[in-house]
């Protein structure tokens, strides 16, 4: 009877095991150079003198800036994964 109870306990506890692996660097990894530098916003066109072309260029520059910021966030995310083992 004790053997059956012990076997049930062992089988029940095996479900509590975790596969999560956390990597810790022995020394902190340096933040990639330039990642924390501010990003320049594109200059807004003057509403009094701007043409459709000026507004179009502004929108393209703004879109490129957002893409660049998202790329930098991806680099920070990968750095964080290496540093702290986050998913």
Domain residue extents for the chain: 25-87
Q: What is the pLDDT of residue 33?
A: 76
Q: Which of the two residues, 84 and 77, has the higher pLDDT score?
A: 77
- 27-83 pLDDT, tens digit per residue, is 666 777 777 888 889 999 999 999 999 999 999 999 999 999 999 888 888 887 877
The residue count for the chain: 87
Contact 20, 44 (CB under 8 A): no
Q: What is the pLDDT of residue 81?
A: 80
Tokens at residue 57, please? 């260029």
- Please state the pTM of the whole predicted model: 0.56
- Hey, what long-range contacts does 18-24 have (CB within 8 A, 24 or more apart)? 21/85, 22/84, 22/85, 23/82, 23/84, 23/85, 24/84, 24/85
- 10-43 pLDDT, tens digit per residue, is 666 555 555 666 656 566 667 777 778 888 899 9
From CA 33, how far away is CA 52, in angstroms rounded? 37
């Amino acid at each position: 009877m004790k053997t059956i109870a012990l076997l049930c306990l062992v089988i029940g506890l095996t479900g509590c095991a975790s596969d999560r692996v956390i990597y810790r660097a022995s020394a902190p990894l340096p933040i990639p150079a330039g990642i924390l530098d501010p990003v320049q916003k594109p200059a807004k066109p003057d509403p009094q003198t701007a043409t459709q072309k000026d507004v179009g260029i502004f929108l393209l520059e703004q879109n490129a800036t957002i893409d660049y910021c998202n790329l930098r966030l991806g680099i920070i995310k990968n750095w964080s994964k290496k540093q702290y083992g986050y998913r």
